[in-house]
């Protein structure tokens, strides 16, 4: 029986993986699905976790990155065409886990987010999904308290650097801290005549070029919490 931990590197999956090793010690396989669009803090965080687990994190991928996927499809993903999640996360993870049955898959969904569910598997498969955070009754407070106790700092972003779910502040942070990545995303919008941001989302320019021009004049958005994302453990 393989014990597989779906690990995005976010607060929930990180807390689950670390606590699981404490209360149910066994040999786990830690799996993540990189998109090739992670920021350096995420890569560093994965390395830190590998040291804490004393085990490598298996990077599951088809060889595509977010940028190569956009190039191949000649369009930018959005909330109506969320092909990035399916092709970079769901399909690779499903294909990989099919070759590692029988298995138990551990998914980091909290007790206070009952409306969210994991990947649905065929009942005939020798595959069981467990939600340890829910089993423990852990909500956001318990997750944060545990990470504080373990002195674990989660990167500000664990999703793609360029994601249509991002808030204005996250785009501002990308422009401010990773200008080359922002410039590349801006060039992709020009090339494919489409934007990562929806024009209906807020009153600011949808295009990254227009948004950058506002940032350059001194506009700094307020930092807000964002819901959603495409972490494999929260699908």
Q: Is residue 55 part of a domain?
A: yes
**In angstroms, how far is the first alpha carbon of the chain from the final one?**
24
- For residue 127, the cross-strand partners are 103
Q: Quote the pTM value.
A: 0.88
Q: How far apart are CA 107 and CA 97, in angstroms?
A: 13
β-pairing, 29-32 with 103-106? unpaired
Peptide bond into 67 cis (omega under 30): no
- Residue 58 tokens read as 């298996």
In a domain, 74, yes or no: yes
User: What is the reported pLDDT for 234?
Assistant: 46
In a domain, 77, yes or no: yes
> Which tokens go with 33?
């699905």
Q: Is 205 a residue whose pLDDT tops 70?
A: yes
Residue 40 lies in a domain: yes
Q: Mean pLDDT across the stretch 57-74?
A: 95
pLDDT at 118: 61
- DSSP label at residue 201: S
Average the pLDDT over 71-80 and give the result.
Answer: 92
Write down the H helix ranges in 24-56: 40-53
Q: How many domains does the chain have?
A: 1
Q: Is residue 7 part of a domain?
A: yes
Assign 215 a pLDDT band (cuts: 50, 70, 90): very high
The answer to whether 206 and 199 have CB atoms below 8 angstroms apart is yes
Q: Per the domain annotation, does 176 fall within a domain?
A: no
Query: What are the pLDDT digits (tens) for 86-143?
Result: 999 999 999 999 999 999 999 999 999 876 666 666 666 789 999 999 999 999 999 9
Do the domain assignments include residue 204? no
pLDDT of res. 226: 55
Domain that holds residue 92: 2-158
Q: What is the CATH number of the domain that holds 96?
A: 3.40.50.620
């Amino acid at each position: 029986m393989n014990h597989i931990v779906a690990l995005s590197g976010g607060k929930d999956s990180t807390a689950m993986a670390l606590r699981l090793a404490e209360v149910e010690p066994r040999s786990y396989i830690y799996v993540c699905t990189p998109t090739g669009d992670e920021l350096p803090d995420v890569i560093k965080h994965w390395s830190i976790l590998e040291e804490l687990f004393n085990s490598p994190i298996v990077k599951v991928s088809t060889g595509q990155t977010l940028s190569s996927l956009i190039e191949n499809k000649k369009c930018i993903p959005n909330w109506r065409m969320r092909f990035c999640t399916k092709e970079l996360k769901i399909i690779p993870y499903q294909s990989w886990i099919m070759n590692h049955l029988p298995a138990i898959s551990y998914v980091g969904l909290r007790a206070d987010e009952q409306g969210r569910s994991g990947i649905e598997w065929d009942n005939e498969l020798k595959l069981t999904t467990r939600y340890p955070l829910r089993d423990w009754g852990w909500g956001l407070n318990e997750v944060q308290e545990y990470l504080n106790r373990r002195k674990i700092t989660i990167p500000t972003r664990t999703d793609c650097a360029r994601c249509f779910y991002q808030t204005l502040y996250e785009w501002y942070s990308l422009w401010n801290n990773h200008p080359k990545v922002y410039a590349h995303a801006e060039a992709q919008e020009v090339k494919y005549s489409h934007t990562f941001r929806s024009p209906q989302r807020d009153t600011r320019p949808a295009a990254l070029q227009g948004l950058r021009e506002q940032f350059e004049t001194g506009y700094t958005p307020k930092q807000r919490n964002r819901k959603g994302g495409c972490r494999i453990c929260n699908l």
